[in-house]
Structure 1
Amino acid sequence: MNFDEILSLIGGFGKFQKILYVWISLPQIFLAFHMLVSVFTGAIPPHLCRSAWPSADSPTPSGYNFSLLLSPDGRPELSCMAKFNHSAALDANHSRHPGSCQGGWEYSQETYYSTVVTEWDLVCDKARLNIIGSSIYMFGLLVGAVAFGALADTYGRRPIILFSLTIQAVFGVGAAFAPNYYIYILLRFVVGMSISGVIMNVFVLGTEWTGSKQRMLAAVITDFFFGFGYIMLAGVAYLIRDWRKLQLAISAPSFIFVCYFWLLPKSARWLMANDRNEEAWKLIRKAARVNGKPLQEDLELCQGCNNKEERRKHTVIDLVRTPNMRKQSLILFYLWFINVLVYYGLSLNISDFGMNIYLTQMIFGLVEMPARTITLFTLNRSRRFSQLAFLAVAGIACLLTVFIPNDLSTIRTVLAMVGKFGVSASLSIVYIFSAEIFPTVVRQTGIGMCSMCARVGGVLAPIIYLLRPVSEQAPMVLFGLGTIVGSALTVFLPETANMRLPDTIEDVERSDPRSK
């Protein structure tokens, strides 16, 4: 009797699992806050160098229209040209060498009261520091994926989740009191590490407690909560327009997760795979009682649950040591990379589409809901085709934006929304798909490596917009082509819909490893 058969006896998605999913879904709201808050805390309002006026001590005239400093597509680039000549602010065709501003900067407060950009003057010749800061945060997610993936396979899912939630709360609050930009990005780097620890392990913990038929529904539930956080952030940021207060508002509530030390269960599947049967059976009997399906004593001998391969220590090398495992792992690594690159490439640069930033944030969040919902109707039929189709939708939509002029901001935003819809659905699927393809003995290591590749995409997502001086369309072209390549590679992955989870690498290498 393997663990999936045990779950079928005690209930694959009973009361025990539903309570578990409440606990692992709530942190997703705050994960969305931290992942996307830089859209607002790192926003660049229209600005003008004070030395552009007749006297460096002269205040900016009241009622000055800062919108005159915006380029036609809504970005405040003309302010850099207008540092030393006020008339340049009025003439979109005027161009001056963007030297350093000696008189200090004046910022419009029409949309933001304070951002990290306005506090530390990260504009014009310092603008790249803002992009680098976003990439360093994403690099934190990469480091966390590598570290916490391996640690979770060694010490279990629960301890790493609890540790990561604690770090997220402490360093998130600390970032709100950062004395300078460098301390701020260091604290954000640690927050990024902790978020990887939470994202990977709550997903795997839920998957390992859920039966094969309900696994897809359960995984999408957590995605909905991330989408709620996405939408809620637009409202929170609209009400709190000071970046320090906003950072504090999204971080301090995380201290409520201290109660998880008493509420969050361990993974019985992981315990069995690591030959800790006594602990596993205590949890299984508890889950059976909560689900109203208590086990009989004569069923408490699990033949074949822990064979020799499962007891052997596995490493990341096992992901590429054998042919099938290697092929599947490399494709999944790329899928995670391109999904996250495009997802955050679109999400973190919503100001590029020329509409109100709060409205665009809310719309992009709302798009997540139908994207997650539609996967409920496609995944049970085919994981592989669903992944392929949604990646293709995202790729085509991104490529079509290349042909839309900047002044047609509504059409560009709609196409970006379609691209966001496709990549959001694809991102939901790739989590489920990967957890079903990797066997139990290396599942967390595999998810950790996938997450590491995803975070490489996250690191590149802000940096890729540095290509705009070379070509305005370069980012969207790369997003479109990358997702279409991913769509084609999906053909070479196995179908996993309604199949049992593989437990060993031998299961993956067999000709029909997913037989029911």
Structure 2
Amino acid sequence: MTDFGEVLKNVGEFGRFQKCLVFMLCFLSFFNAFHMFGQVFLEISVPHHCNTNWILQISPNLTEDIQLNLTIPQNERGIYEQCRMYTPVDWDIEYIERYGLNDTEDCQDGWVYDTSQQKSTLVTEFDLVCHRKDQTELCQSIFMLGILIGSLIFGSLGDRIGRRPVLLISILFMVAFGLGAAFVTEFYAFIVLRCFVGIGTAGIMLNNLALVAEWVGPSQRAYATITVHVCFAIGLMALAGTGYAIRNWRLLQIVCSAPTAILALYIWFLPESARWLLTKGKNEKAKDLLQKAARMNKREISEDILQQLQEKKPQSGNMIDLFRIPTLRKRALIGCLVWFANSLVYYGLSMNVGSFGLDIYLTQLIFGAVEIPARLGAMFAVQLIGRRLSQSLYLLLGGTACLLITAIPKGLSIGVTVLAVIGKFATASSYSVCYIYAAELFPTILRQNGVGLCSMSARLGGIIAPLVILLDRYHPAIPMAIYGSVPIIGGLLCFLLPETKGRELEDLKSQANNIPRSDSLTKNHILNDSPVLHTEQEKSTWF
């Protein structure tokens, strides 16, 4: 019986059909960047101080400078406190000016914000300052929780009903709930809607990966996957410019969400995965789709091969199988840890762009720009040195850069930013490898379950990443020490995974069970002075 890899060679591994598919998925990835990191510019903090208009009831003609000098204490650097004020009194203004005030307390009547640069943000509208400052980090963690929930739901659903319908549902989620978030009047309503946007974001990330992996041949799979990731990096750069141009958070939220509605046109153009259709026994649909792909690629697929496809029987699987089969269990557990480590550092650095000492828009632009060579570099690395070594080296580099940040004095903002950029470069590269590697580690029948499980662990890292930043109140080095140590552990564990470079995707659970490691297999052939296996059928049993 002909396997799908042989069929794909006849159809064309990366012809016009696959290029059109990748082109469509690039738009999804581009707009995903706006939803993933748009909150960085929605919640920009601005200079503020306590509202002390109580003194104007005593003396209405005070200038702003005199009012601040009389009612707001200063810190040791001579800067007005943002969260403390002098306790109101009912004395005469002459007495207050002569003797001053001594007792202080927390802000009682709200805050006054400097909106000369930033017209409106979540911070200014919902007073997310002082004792409520941590709620901005909570909001981002809830968004990551949404991605975790989406990974759990859409990972399994993608294997059950198909990649295409899940992508269309995810687009609907992002448009509807993204636009709804722009019109809320309560901050907690905004958090809930962002959670649903996160659910849709997960569906797009997972099924983007699956369609590319299952339609593109092994020789071009890495290039196609990373091309989609490069469009995500371009989206990050576009987000920096959009955030700089639009200083009203509601308008920015609309601009980030509304263009995704254009992608609803994909309902007429986006193809299903023929490989998935075959595993579900939908042979006629798979046959029609393969013939369409062959026509677009200007290739001919023989009737003999199509006839053999009719003989394929449906298979099923679920997430339990990942833990029931020893080989898949090891891949899943190590994959989960690697994705968790990668996500922890990637989002920890990305969400912390305003704390490295440089302008937030410039830092975001640099962070977006550095991802382009990072993704392109990963494209060549996985082809030259393989998936396993690339994954490990990038994680080790990212972790080392974060650990070095702890040794840099806080005042050296350029040095800190340079190391942060190196860390972002390494983790962005590692993320690209993650998506390629995970798609090749799990068989088709369990691919979305496996990648969904790994993505769930990544979302745990994303949820924890903003909360780790809060630990700097105990010591500034704690967050970066955590961001540095976890990926180093993950990078070392990568060596326990199999290499998948140049190997055809597995389709069935039996192909992954009780199969010797590729390195040991090759070693045995050398010791026995036997030729190394070269047939596609034999290669499909390699790790």
Query: Which residue does 2:46 correspond to in 1?
Result: 45
Equivalent in 434, 438, 444 of residue 434 of structure 1:
438
Whole-Å Cα distance in 2 between the matches of residues 99 and 123 of structure 1? 15
TM-score (norm 2): 0.87
Partner secondary structure for residue 138 of structure 1? helix
Asked whether 1:17 is paired with 2:10, we answer no
Whole-Å Cα distance in 1 between the matches of residues 256 and 233 of structure 2? 15
TM-aligned CA distance change 1:70 to 1:236, over 3 Å: farther
Is the 2:287–2:309 contact (alpha carbons within 8 Å) kept by the matching residues of 1?
no
Is the 1:98–1:125 contact (alpha carbons within 8 Å) kept by the matching residues of 2?
no
Amino acid in the other structure paired with 1:469: R
Query: Which residue does 1:92 correspond to in 2?
Result: none
Query: Which residue does 2:307 correspond to in 1?
Result: 301
Whole-Å Cα distance in 2 between the matches of residues 69 and 256 of structure 1? 52
Is the 2:85–2:106 contact (alpha carbons within 8 Å) kept by the matching residues of 1?
no
Whole-Å Cα distance in 1 between the matches of residues 486 and 405 of structure 2? 15
Equivalent in 491, 505, 511 of residue 507 of structure 1:
511
Is the 1:50–1:60 contact (alpha carbons within 8 Å) kept by the matching residues of 2?
no
Asked whether 1:318 is paired with 2:342, we answer no
Q: CA deviation at 1:126?
A: 1.1
Query: Which residue does 1:384 correspond to in 2?
Result: 388
Please list the CA deviations of residues 120-140 of structure 1 after superposition, one character each: whole Å capped at 9, or x if unmatched: 101111112222111111111
Whole-Å Cα distance in 2 between the matches of residues 343 and 279 of structure 1? 40
Query: Which residue does 1:91 correspond to in 2?
Result: none
Amino acid in the other structure paired with 1:331: I
Query: Which residue does 1:220 correspond to in 2?
Result: 226
Gaps of 5+ in 2: 89-101, 519-537
Amino acid in the other structure paired with 1:515: K
Is the 2:283–2:312 contact (alpha carbons within 8 Å) kept by the matching residues of 1?
no
Q: CA deviation at 1:226?
A: 0.4
Equivalent in 471, 475, 478 of residue 474 of structure 1:
478
TM-aligned CA distance change 1:178 to 1:272, over 3 Å: same
Query: Which residue does 2:465 correspond to in 1?
Result: 461
After the TM superposition, which residues 186-201 of structure 1 pair with which residues of structure 2 at under 5 Å, given as runs?
186-201=192-207
Whole-Å Cα distance in 1 between the matches of residues 159 and 319 of structure 2? 11
Is the 1:342–1:423 contact (alpha carbons within 8 Å) kept by the matching residues of 2?
yes
Query: Which residue does 2:418 correspond to in 1?
Result: 414
Asked whether 1:361 is paired with 2:369, we answer no
TM-aligned CA distance change 1:497 to 1:130, over 3 Å: same
Is the 2:164–2:270 contact (alpha carbons within 8 Å) kept by the matching residues of 1?
yes
Q: CA deviation at 1:261?
A: 0.6
Whole-Å Cα distance in 2 between the matches of residues 98 and 156 of structure 1? 62
TM-aligned CA distance change 1:60 to 1:117, over 3 Å: farther
Query: Which residue does 1:352 correspond to in 2?
Result: 355
Structure with larger Rg: 2
Is the 1:46–1:70 contact (alpha carbons within 8 Å) kept by the matching residues of 2?
no
Whole-Å Cα distance in 1 between the matches of residues 393 and 103 of structure 2? 47
Name the Cα RMSD after superposition. 2.5
Partner secondary structure for residue 367 of structure 2? helix
Whole-Å Cα distance in 2 between the matches of residues 46 and 159 of structure 1? 46
Query: Which residue does 1:89 correspond to in 2?
Result: none
Query: Which residue does 2:238 correspond to in 1?
Result: 232
Whole-Å Cα distance in 1 between the matches of residues 54 and 403 of structure 2? 43
Whole-Å Cα distance in 2 between the matches of residues 46 and 306 of structure 1? 65
Please list the CA deviations of residues 156-185 of structure 1 after superposition, one character each: whole Å capped at 9, or x if unmatched: 000010011011111111111011111111
Partner secondary structure for residue 247 of structure 2? coil
Amino acid in the other structure paired with 1:327: K
Whole-Å Cα distance in 1 between the matches of residues 298 and 404 of structure 2? 53
Please list the CA deviations of residues 219-245 of structure 1 after superposition, one character each: whole Å capped at 9, or x if unmatched: 001101100110000000000000000
Please list the CA deviations of residues 449-486 of structure 1 after superposition, one character each: whole Å capped at 9, or x if unmatched: 11111111111111111111111111100010001001
Q: CA deviation at 1:301?
A: 2.3
Is the 1:32–1:227 contact (alpha carbons within 8 Å) kept by the matching residues of 2?
yes
Asked whether 1:123 is paired with 2:139, we answer no
Whole-Å Cα distance in 2 between the matches of residues 212 and 59 of structure 1? 71
Equivalent in 245, 248, 253 of residue 251 of structure 2:
245
Equivalent in 489, 496, 500 of residue 492 of structure 1:
496
Q: CA deviation at 1:50?
A: 1.7
Is the 2:84–2:107 contact (alpha carbons within 8 Å) kept by the matching residues of 1?
no
TM-aligned CA distance change 1:242 to 1:499, over 3 Å: same
What is the count of residue pairs matched by the alignment? 498
Partner secondary structure for residue 380 of structure 1? helix
Q: CA deviation at 1:299?
A: 2.3
Amino acid in the other structure paired with 2:357: G
Whole-Å Cα distance in 2 between the matches of residues 28 and 377 of structure 1? 21
Please list the CA deviations of residues 53-89 of structure 1 after superposition, one character each: whole Å capped at 9, or x if unmatched: 8448878449999xx98999xxx9952245769xxxx
- Residue identity over aligned pairs, in percent, reads 41
Amino acid in the other structure paired with 1:459: I
Whole-Å Cα distance in 2 between the matches of residues 157 and 63 of structure 1? 62
Amino acid in the other structure paired with 1:347: S
Partner secondary structure for residue 383 of structure 2? coil
Partner secondary structure for residue 79 of structure 1? coil
Q: CA deviation at 1:23?
A: 0.8
Amino acid in the other structure paired with 1:343: Y
